[in-house]
Chains A and B, each alone.
Chain A
Amino acid sequence: MSRLRIDLNLAAPDDFYEALIDAHRGLTPEQSQAMNAALVLLLANHVGDMQVLREALERARAAV
Chain B
Amino acid sequence: MADADYQALEFPYRPHPDARAAMPARHPVVVVGAGPVGLTAAIDLAGRGLPVVLLDDDCRLSTGSRAICFAKRTLEIWDRLGLGQRMADKGVSWNVGRIFFQDGEVWRFDLLPEPGHRRPAFINLQQYYCEGYLLEHAARRPGIDLRWKHKVVGARALADGVELTVETPDGTHALHADWVLACDGSRSPMRRILGREAHGRVFRDRFLIADIRMHADFPPERWFWFDPPFHPGQSVLLHRQPDDIWRVDFQMGWDADPVEAVKPENVLPLLRALLGPRAEFQLEWVSLYTFACERMDCFRHGRVLFAGDAAHRVSPFGARGANSGVQDAENLAWKLEAVISGAAPEALLDTYCLEREYAADENILNSSRATDFITPKSEVSRLFRNTVLKLARDHPFARALVNSGRLSVPSAYRTSPLNTPDADRFEGPMAPGTVALDAPVLRNGRPDWWLAQLPGDFMLAVFCDDPRDADRGALEDLARDDVPVRTILVRGAESPPGAHEDGIAQVVDAEGWLARRYDGRPGTCYLIRPDQHVAARWRRFEPRRVRAARDCALARGDAHDFPASGARA
Residues of A whose CB lies within 8 Å of any CB of B are 33-34, 37-38, 40-42, 45
Mark contacts of B393-427 with chain A using CB atoms, 8 A cut-off: 1 yes-contact digit, 0 otherwise: 00101100100000000000000000000000000
Q: Are B390 and A38 in contact (CB under 8 A)?
A: yes
Would you list 19 pairs from A and B whose C-beta atoms are within 8 A, ordered by A residue?
A: A34-B383, A34-B386, A34-B387, A37-B380, A37-B383, A37-B384, A37-B387, A38-B387, A38-B390, A38-B391, A41-B384, A41-B387, A41-B388, A41-B391, A41-B401, A42-B391, A42-B395, A45-B397, A45-B398
A40 to B397, CA, bound (A): 13
Residues of chain B contacted by A45 (CB below 8 angstroms): 395, 397-398
Q: Told that A37-B380, A37-B384, A40-B384 touch, could you supply 9 new A-B pairs with CB distance under 8 A?
A: A33-B383, A34-B386, A34-B387, A37-B383, A38-B391, A41-B391, A42-B395, A45-B397, A45-B398
A58 to B429, CA, bound (A): 35
Instruction: Tell me the interface secondary structure of chain B in the complex.
Output: helix
Residues of chain A contacted by B391 (CB below 8 angstroms): 38, 41-42
A41 to B399, CA, bound (A): 12
**Residue in A37, A40, A42 whose Cβ sees the most chain B Cβ within 10 Å:** A37
Give the distance to chain B from A56, nearest Cβ to Cβ, in Å. 15
A37 to B395, CA, bound (A): 14
Residues of chain B contacted by A41 (CB below 8 angstroms): 384, 387-388, 391, 398, 401
Residues of chain B contacted by A34 (CB below 8 angstroms): 383, 386-387
A41 to B387, CA, bound (A): 8
Residues of chain A contacted by B390 (CB below 8 angstroms): 38
Cβ < 8 Å to A, chain B residues 47-96: none
Closest A residue to B397 by CB, please name it.
Answer: A45
A38 to B397, CA, bound (A): 12
Residues of chain A contacted by B401 (CB below 8 angstroms): 41
Which 7 pairs between the two chains have the least Cβ-Cβ distance? A37-B387, A45-B397, A38-B387, A37-B383, A37-B384, A38-B391, A41-B391
Give the distance to chain B from A59, nearest Cβ to Cβ, in Å. 18
Task: Report, as a range, how many residues of chain B touch the other chain.
Answer: 10 to 19
A42 to B384, CA, bound (A): 12
Closest B residue to A33 by CB, please name it.
Answer: B383
Closest B residue to A45 by CB, please name it.
Answer: B397
A25 to B34, CA, bound (A): 64
A37 to B386, CA, bound (A): 10
Residues of chain B contacted by A38 (CB below 8 angstroms): 387, 390-391
A2 to B237, CA, bound (A): 41
Give the distance to chain A from B391, nearest Cβ to Cβ, in Å. 6
Give the distance to chain A from B387, nearest Cβ to Cβ, in Å. 4
A18 to B386, CA, bound (A): 27
A63 to B5, CA, bound (A): 64
A1 to B383, CA, bound (A): 32
Give the distance to chain A from B122, nearest Cβ to Cβ, in Å. 29
A41 to B395, CA, bound (A): 11
Closest A residue to B379 by CB, please name it.
Answer: A33
Give the distance to chain B from A48, nearest Cβ to Cβ, in Å. 9
A8 to B423, CA, bound (A): 47
A34 to B382, CA, bound (A): 10
A45 to B390, CA, bound (A): 15
A34 to B391, CA, bound (A): 11
Residues of chain B contacted by A40 (CB below 8 angstroms): 384
Give the distance to chain B from A33, nearest Cβ to Cβ, in Å. 6
Residues of chain A contacted by B397 (CB below 8 angstroms): 45
Give the distance to chain B from A3, nearest Cβ to Cβ, in Å. 23
Residues of chain A contacted by B388 (CB below 8 angstroms): 41
Residues of chain A contacted by B380 (CB below 8 angstroms): 37
A45 to B388, CA, bound (A): 12
Residues of chain B contacted by A42 (CB below 8 angstroms): 391, 395
Give the distance to chain A from B211, nearest Cβ to Cβ, in Å. 37
Give the distance to chain A from B394, nearest Cβ to Cβ, in Å. 11
A37 to B388, CA, bound (A): 9
Give the distance to chain B from A41, nearest Cβ to Cβ, in Å. 6
Cβ < 8 Å to A, chain B residues 478-522: none
Residues of chain B contacted by A37 (CB below 8 angstroms): 380, 383-384, 387
Closest A residue to B384 by CB, please name it.
Answer: A37
A38 to B390, CA, bound (A): 9
Closest B residue to A38 by CB, please name it.
Answer: B387
A40 to B380, CA, bound (A): 13
A29 to B395, CA, bound (A): 25
Closest A residue to B396 by CB, please name it.
Answer: A45
A41 to B396, CA, bound (A): 12
Mark contacts of B20-54 with chain A using CB atoms, 8 A cut-off: 1 yes-contact digit, 0 otherwise: 00000000000000000000000000000000000
Residues of chain A contacted by B383 (CB below 8 angstroms): 33-34, 37
Give the distance to chain B from A63, nearest Cβ to Cβ, in Å. 16
A42 to B395, CA, bound (A): 9
